[in-house]
Amino acid sequence: MAVREGLLALLHEGPRHGYQLKTEFEAATGGVWPLNVGQVYTTLDRLERDGLVGVSDNEGQKVYSITVDGVSALGAWWEAAPVDEPPPRDELMLKVLMAIERSTERGDAHAMSVITHQRTVLHSMLQSKRRARSVATTSLAARLVTDALVVRAEADLRWLDLCEAQLNGTPTRKARS
């Protein structure tokens, strides 16, 4: 994942210790992206190996700073399109597609009940996110992370609506069978 670039972005603000990077990374991502210290040092070692980060010693503690190459790598990352996993292959999609596949023999009832149930489950999740968001005196980062989850759940729910509409005897479905 983009932990490398996240650390570079923090180092772009100035030199830091490894542990400091861990804490700042977690704060900046609203607490949803915990790093273990080992992972931070492994990543820093690789960044150093690739010439993107330099190390100096300050009273026995290692201090990391970004190099010129590091700055340009970071610049390229801000510009690049985010690369997620290749085409959507998430579990929800698999569930619904498999349910529809089975339905070709058993009728649409099974697929519809899977869609109905998944919709309810997603809504329950949205409700609990909402509650968590309104209870906690959370940071801006934490609120934005929750918003991201909410928006993604909304997208999944819209997709379920489309699945249901198509199964409900639209031309698309009829043409297929």
Partner 1 sequence: MNDPVLELVDVVKTFGKGSTEVRALNGVDLAVSPAEFVAVMGPSGCGKSTLLHLAGGLEDVSSGRVRVAGRDIGDLDLASRAALRRTDVGYVFQRLNLLPSLTALENVALPLKLEGVGRREASARSLDALAAVGVTEQLSRYPDDFSGGQQQRIAIARAIVVERALILADEPSGALDTMTGDSVIELLSSLPGRFGTAIVLVTHEPRFASWADRVVFMRDGVVVDQTASTVPVSAAGAAT
Q: Which residues bind partner 1 (CB under 8 A)?
A: 116-117, 119-120, 122-124, 126-127, 129-131, 134, 150, 153-154, 157, 161, 164-165
108 vs 44: CA distance, rounded Å: 53
Please report how close the Cβ of residue 90 comes to partner 1 at its closest, in angstroms: 17
By beta-carbon proximity to partner 1, the closer residue of 50 and 161 is 161
By beta-carbon proximity to partner 1, the closer residue of 122 and 141 is 122
- Residue matched to tokens 């619904």: 96
Please report how close the Cβ of residue 8 comes to partner 1 at its closest, in angstroms: 33
Question: What Å distances lie between residue 81 and 3, 11, 44, 78, CA to CA?
Answer: 16, 22, 24, 8
- Residue matched to tokens 């040092």: 41
The answer to whether 47 touches 53, Cβ cutoff 8 Å, is yes
Residue 85, phi then psi, degrees to nearest 5: -50, 145
Please report how close the Cβ of residue 175 comes to partner 1 at its closest, in angstroms: 21
Residues forming beta bridges with residue 62, ordered by sequence position? 57
Please report how close the Cβ of residue 142 comes to partner 1 at its closest, in angstroms: 17
129 vs 109: CA distance, rounded Å: 30
By beta-carbon proximity to partner 1, the closer residue of 120 and 172 is 120
By beta-carbon proximity to partner 1, the closer residue of 90 and 161 is 161
Please report how close the Cβ of residue 121 comes to partner 1 at its closest, in angstroms: 9
By beta-carbon proximity to partner 1, the closer residue of 61 and 127 is 127
Looking at residue 52, the DSSP 8-state letter turns out to be S
